[in-house]
Amino acid sequence: MRENRTMELVKKIFRSALLILLPLAAASAFLDWKKLPLSILAGGLLGFLNVKGLAWGVEGLIGSQRASGRMVIFSLFRLLMLFITLSLLVYLGIVNIFGVLAGLTVIFVLVATEGLKYAKKMSISEKNQP
């Protein structure tokens, strides 16, 4: 039941991210920075993959009573892969760091706003239960 809620929330974040990131990338194509649209999309994709991995890790922790070693290792591996991918993209000059930060920021804001909406909805539904 919780897994469905979590995946529902992740899907909602993904849909909202597409509705924001695609027009933002299209609008940034008119700026003088050549790599900005790709960078915004790359940042959004990396942010979304990170959220999806985080959701998977949280589901694993909720299902068990204690943090398993695999979940801790997966979290560290996920962050390491994010860092390596981001570093490689910037080092090779494929993306602009400001565009990547813009994409990551969009995902961060969406996670915060959708999470607050979800928490508020759950709080109201708990109050209505006898």
Residue 99 in domain: yes
Percent of the chain clearing pLDDT 90 (strictly above): 58
Residue 89 in domain: yes
Residue 70 pLDDT > 80: no
User: How many structural domains does the chain have?
Assistant: 1
CB 51 within 8 A of CB 58: no
Residue 84 in domain: yes
- State pLDDT tens for residues 2-23: 557 788 889 999 999 999 999 9
Alpha carbon distance 28, 126 (integer Å): 43
Sign of CA dihedral 14, 16, 22, 25: negative
| Mean pLDDT rounded to a whole number for the chain | 87
Residue 98 in domain: yes
Domain that holds residue 77: 33-128
Residue 66 confidence class, pLDDT cut points 50, 70, 90: low
Residue 93 in domain: yes
